[in-house]
């Protein structure tokens, strides 16, 4: 998709500090990290969100989950981490290209949801 920031990063049109890539996915640091380790994993192919994903996307989704542990360990979160996929307006998704957050670091990431 021509006007999509994560498509552009995946295509190398916008530089990013890639920490992992293969033929289907790319991983790079979040520009506004919320934890000491905060990596985004995106499919190269434009999938809007998990709500739009279907049977054809199972392979790439499995690949994203399957490399999470390796990426987390390599990036400084060897003792565990959290993955988050914000989806749609209810899920607080801001960038409409499916992406998985990997958050972690040396300390526990804390409660899953903060209520205010
Ligand atoms: P969300 O859609 O709410 O799951 O979050 C989108 C995430 O993308 C936010 O954490 C942003 O900081 C991050 N983000 C937006 N633009 C970029 C970029 N150019 N490079 C890296 N991360 C980005
Ligand atoms: Zn895209």
CATH number at residue 76: 3.30.428.10
At 52-66, the pLDDT tens digits run 999 999 999 999 999
Q: Whole-angstrom Cα distance, residue 100 to residue 52? A: 15
Contact between residue 85 and residue 50 where contact means Cβ atoms under 8 Å apart: yes
* Segment 16-38, tens digit of pLDDT: 999 999 999 999 999 999 999 99
Q: Looking at 38, 97, 99, 101, which residue is catalytic?
A: 99
Q: Ligand 1 in contact with 86 (CB < 6 A)? A: yes
Q: Total domain count for the chain?
A: 1
Q: CA-CA distance, 69 to 102, in Å (whole number)?
A: 9
Helix (H) or strand (E) holding 39: strand 37-43
Q: Helix, strand, coil shares of the chain as percentages rounded to 5?
A: 25, 20, 55
With contact defined as beta carbons under 8 Å apart, do 30 and 95 qualify? Answer: no
Asked, for residue 90, whether it belongs to a domain, the answer is yes
**Residues above pLDDT 70, as percent of the chain:** 97
- Domain-located, residue 111: no
Cα(116) to centroid of ligand 2, in Å? 32
| H/E segment holding residue 104 | strand 100-104
Domain of residue 10, residue span: 5-95
The pair of three-digit structure tokens given for residue 30, joined into one six-digit string: 């979040």
Residue 81 and residue 37 in contact, taking contact as beta carbons nearer than 8 Å = yes
Q: Give the per-residue pLDDT at 116.
A: 62
Q: How confident is the model at residue 2 (pLDDT cuts 50, 70, 90)?
A: confident
Q: Specify if 37 maps to a domain.
A: yes
pLDDT of the residue at 113:
82
Global pTM reads 0.96
């Amino acid at each position: 998709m021509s006007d999509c920031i994560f498509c552009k990063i995946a295509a190398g049109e916008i530089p990013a500090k890639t920490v992992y890539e293969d033929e289907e996915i790319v991983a790079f640091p979040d520009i506004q990290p919320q934890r000491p380790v905060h990596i985004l994993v995106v499919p190269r192919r434009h999938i809007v969100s998990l709500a739009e994903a279907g049977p054809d996307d199972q392979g790439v989704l499995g690949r994203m989950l399957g490399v999470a542990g390796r990426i987390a360990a390599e990036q400084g979160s060897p003792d565990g981490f959290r993955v988050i996929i914000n989806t749609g307006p209810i899920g607080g998704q801001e960038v409409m290209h499916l992406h998985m957050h990997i958050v972690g670091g040396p300390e526990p990431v804390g409660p899953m949801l903060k209520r205010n």
